[in-house]
Structure 1
Amino acid sequence: MVLIADSGSTKCDWIVYENKEKQPLRIRTKGLNPAILSKKALQKIITENSKLSKHKDKITSVCFFGAGCGTKKNQDKIKHILNAFFENSKSIVREDIMAAVWATTNEPAVVCILGTGSNCCYFDGEKTHSKIPSLGYVVMDEGSGNYFGKRLLRGYFYKKMPKELRLSFGATFNVKEKKVVDKLYKSATPNKYLAEFAKFMFENEEHPYIAKLLAKGMAKFIENHVLQYREELKTVPLHFVGSIAYHGKDVINSELSKKGLLATSFVRRPMENLIHHLREDNFHIEL
């Protein structure tokens, strides 16, 4: 059996795949980001899931794609936990951008992730190439769920958000000052907390205030990330992966058009396409 995981900071989608005749088993856990969570916290998420425990002795290969897995140190951190739990398996750990690539193309392309966080790379047909480092939610992550969450909170507390939106926002979320401060500065996953506010944005995307916020955030992502690959984009397609990208695709294409660009595809969940590639034997794990 093969186990494949696609993990962001918020959630992790797993599939247990045996063969093309059988439906893969789908499992969802909390996100496993080794850049944010301790080894103990990561182990707890995996070991306390009954479905993963049930099949752990049958798993022979594990392929883990994850946010925060861009360094060897964090890759080894996840790999050690996986190998200790799935004792009969071998595993590989790659950054989440690789899952986005394999879910969208096997040809050269520029591939972007817009979910809890954001990322962008050029895929040459074999390897990914990033022109700027991913410094996470504090410094970067333009266009992501946590990026928009920050701006919604600022708009609310600075009273820049229009009154009707502010009342709705306050009724939807617990925005008591102590609660917000605790979540931002005492929580293990503040980026996940910030991203939870993004749903409000899409529920109210027709409002001029939200529409402007959304367009500005996507324009920043395009300017700071996508246009790093302007030369490559003269000859290769552009793909977007992730829930924020999927729900914001009209705004993204509108902002891209201002730069003479157009996205080729928007994939909400990479795992669906990875399952398809498994069934078509177009996806091979090299351990």
Structure 2
Amino acid sequence: MATATTYGARDHARAQEGTRAEAMPVVPAGDWPDPPPDAGPLVWAETVAGGNYTHKVLARGTELRLTDPHGDACAHVLLYVADRPWERLNVADTVKVQWNAYLGDGVLLLSDQGRVLASLVADTSGRHDALCGTSTLVRNTARYGDGSPQSPSPAGRELFKLAAAKNGLGPRDLPPSLSFFQGVEVRDDGTLDFTGSAGPGTSVTLRTEQDVTVLIANVPHPADPRPEYVSTALEVLAWRARATEPDDPLWNATPEGRRAFLNTAEFRTARGSA
């Protein structure tokens, strides 16, 4: 189809409607391919290519499942309260309040206000990181030759800047992030050991405990020792569910977690949204 004229370009563009690529958002999210028990309708379905990013505002009580289909995804994640983005994921508090430097089933993702942004309710990977953050322009340029967003080796922070801008946020609004599907462990001498991926097909599921803005950059972990820029697709699915209630075992699993849930409930009650 000729595209040398405006009419030709328009006709060519319209002919692409309905075309599916391996990595793309699905709008509307469509029907479940294999729904978990009691899952509500899908509200987000997307495959994020390696070296790319995505973002979405999710309502309280949404479950978000990230899947590593090929074994070399690394989902760097930031969370913000949707209507007050100054309350955001605080990785340091997430680690120290729960006396745990490692992410896994039952861990709460906390803000610096001591409230729960999301709960990690399922994990088949076990290879995650709350210590290193994401890659930077300087690091990727030194290692791969470039780290700009349009390069073959974009840095996570540069992609976060783009996702942030689309939600009214700037570079100063980017705190350290969490990483899923590429693990790091602390050795006895305090140095870090990169443990890599658990293999293809693993997933993690987060449950949102407030309305949140989610930013995701799918790029190699900064501690990945491989000289090549290796990053494969990430599958993102989200569906309607229910936020954690006081009768849920997760609410009372630890004293610290119970206080974080109470802080969250008290804030919502004071605002009249409980």
Normalised TM-score (structure 1): 0.25
TM-score under structure 2 length normalisation = 0.26
Structure (1/2) with the larger helix percentage:
1
Indicate the structure whose relative CO is greater, using CA pairs within 8 Å and at least 6 residues apart.
Answer: 2
Query: Which has the larger strand fraction?
Result: 2
